[in-house]
């Protein structure tokens, strides 16, 4: 085991290989307050990548309903149960064990092995609400006491991938140019070690090719400066893909750095597992704090507060409206005089959008037509 730096834990941790950060790191930020689980991302991914034999139930991108949904079944509960209760200290440093540190002596990572049946219910728990609506009616408090939210998930192209660590054939590699983690389809022998090891369960077994497969981060698009299919097809414009720097190299004008490091609006999920995952979530502000804390760590309360105050921050607001406004990868953004602009790697402008659209208020009664106005077309 090597000692590597995991900034999401605020400490060093054990990992089977040395720290080797890519030149830049693929990352997606999701605003969970906006996701409506339309599954357009899921289908965009499915039709692009996994329509072949052996991929029938393979969803590299999925959207599940929390708290009861999970694909594969209860993936989060099962790895958390296996890890047992762990603590963050008062300074926000993780005091517990990661899945690498908690590995049994014969194993590389702490894991559980999903079985076929676990992958048979991609949309289990959809829209199932926590707590009993019948007894006391609908939600009347904030955070909501009856609640659910949607969690869209792709591979997190982790800085410390458990799949890569667990593969005894070294068939999994992390690309130096963009940090995308790939399974070498010519070397994989389908041992399924990655399927067991990935705590997010984003390595999947294909019984037709007898190899394991996973989200490829849409690398052919990324290589051309285009965001992945799940991002560009998101009708809710809840996602933005870019490149994240570690906090000590963060750039304020980098969209992902801004949301994660500068503004502290987006957090990794289950960082305590130790993989330094690179999908980041703006937490759903109306879900109970306890639930959010176990999923996003102790920083989540501040994140929710900052999101609530967004309307007083034109720069953050500008970046939020840039999300989903261009198919290209934004390397830099700016907000000036009510206009938000995104730029490509060479500095050319990709898009500009008004931070707020003009609002027109119409009287409820149209005197010229002597008619009541309503919103029904």
Partner 1 sequence: MHTFYPCVVAVLLSQPAALLPTELNVVAVRGSVADANPEASYWKSAQPLVVTMTAQPMTTPRPATTTTPNVTVQGVHDGTWLALRLTWTDPEPSYAGKLGEFSDAVAVQFPIKAGPPPPIWMGAKESPVHIYHWRAQYQRDRLEGKPGMRDLYPHMTVDMYPMEYADPGHLGQFAESDRDRFSPGRVAGNPQSYSKTGVDEIYAEGFSTSSVQEGHGSVGDGCHQAKTWTVVLVRRMNAEGGSVITPGQKAWMGVAVWQGGQGEVGSRKCVTMAWQALNVAPAVAP
List residues near partner 1 by CB under 8 A.
51-56, 103, 106-108, 113-116, 119, 166, 168-170, 184-193, 195, 205-211, 213
Query: Which residues touch 328 (CB under 8 Å, ≥6 apart)?
Result: 225, 226, 227, 342, 344, 350, 351
**Residue 346 is encoded by which pair of tokens?**
């060479």
**Geometric angle at alpha carbon 305, from 304 and 309, rounded to 5°:** 115
Which residues are 226's β-sheet partners? 328
Query: Which residues touch 127 (CB under 8 Å, ≥6 apart)?
Result: 37, 65, 148
CB of 109 to partner 1, least distance (A): 9
CB of 168 to partner 1, least distance (A): 4
CB of 54 to partner 1, least distance (A): 6
93 vs 113 by CB, closer to partner 1? 113
CB of 73 to partner 1, least distance (A): 13
164 vs 340 by CB, closer to partner 1? 164
Q: Tokens 């599954």 identify what position? A: 39
Alpha-carbon gap, residue 323 to 30, rounded angstroms: 9
CB of 21 to partner 1, least distance (A): 22
147 vs 173 by CB, closer to partner 1? 173
171 vs 287 by CB, closer to partner 1? 171
56 vs 305 by CB, closer to partner 1? 56
206 vs 254 by CB, closer to partner 1? 206
Cα 156 off chain centre by: 7
CB of 236 to partner 1, least distance (A): 27
The DSSP secondary structure of 220-254, one letter per residue, reads HHHTTTB--HHHHT-TT--EEEEEEPPGGG--TTS
What is the SS3 string spanning 250-272? Answer: CCCCCHHHHHHHHCCCCEECCHH
């Amino acid at each position: 085991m090597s000692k590597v730096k995991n900034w999401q834990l605020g400490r060093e941790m054990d990992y089977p290989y040395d720290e080797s950060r890519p030149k830049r790191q693929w990352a997606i930020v999701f605003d969970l307050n906006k996701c409506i689980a339309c599954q357009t991302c899921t289908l965009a991914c499915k039709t692009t990548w996994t329509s072949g034999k052996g991929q029938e139930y393979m969803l590299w991108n999925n959207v599940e309903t929390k708290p009861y949904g999970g694909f594969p079944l209860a993936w989060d509960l099962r790895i958390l149960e296996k890890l047992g209760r762990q603590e963050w200290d008062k300074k926000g440093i993780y005091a517990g064990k990661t899945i690498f540190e908690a590995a049994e002596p014969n194993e590389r990572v702490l894991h559980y092995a999903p079985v076929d049946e676990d992958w048979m219910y991609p949309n289990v728990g959809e829209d199932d609400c926590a707590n009993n609506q019948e007894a006391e009616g609908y939600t009347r408090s904030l955070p909501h006491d009856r609640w659910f939210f949607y969690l869209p998930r792709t591979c997190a192209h982790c800085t410390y991938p458990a799949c890569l660590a667990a593969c005894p054939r070294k068939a999994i590699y992390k690309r130096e140019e963009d940090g995308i983690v790939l399974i070498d389809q010519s070397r994989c022998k389908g041992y399924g070690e990655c399927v067991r090891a990935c705590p997010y369960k984003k390595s999947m077994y294909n019984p037709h090719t007898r190899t394991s497969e996973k989200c490829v981060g849409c690398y052919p698009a990324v290589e051309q400066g285009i965001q992945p299919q799940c991002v560009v097809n998101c009708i809710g414009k809840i996602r933005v893909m870019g490149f994240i720097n570690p906090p000590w190299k963060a750039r304020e004008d980098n969209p992902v750095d801004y949301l994660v490091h500068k503004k502290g609006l987006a957090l990794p999920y289950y960082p305590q597992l130790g993989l330094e995952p690179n999908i980041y979530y703006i937490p759903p502000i109306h879900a109970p704090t306890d639930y959010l804390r176990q999923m996003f760590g102790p920083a989540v309360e501040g994140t929710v507060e900052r999101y609530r105050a967004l309307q007083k921050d034109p720069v953050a607001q500008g970046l939020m409206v840039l999300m989903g406004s261009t198919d290209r990868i934004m390397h830099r953004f700016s907000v000036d005089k009510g206009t938000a602009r995104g730029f490509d790697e060479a500095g050319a402008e990709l898009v500009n959008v008004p931070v707020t659209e003009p609002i027109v208020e119409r009287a409820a009664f149209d005197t010229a037509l002597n008619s009541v106005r309503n919103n029904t077309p």
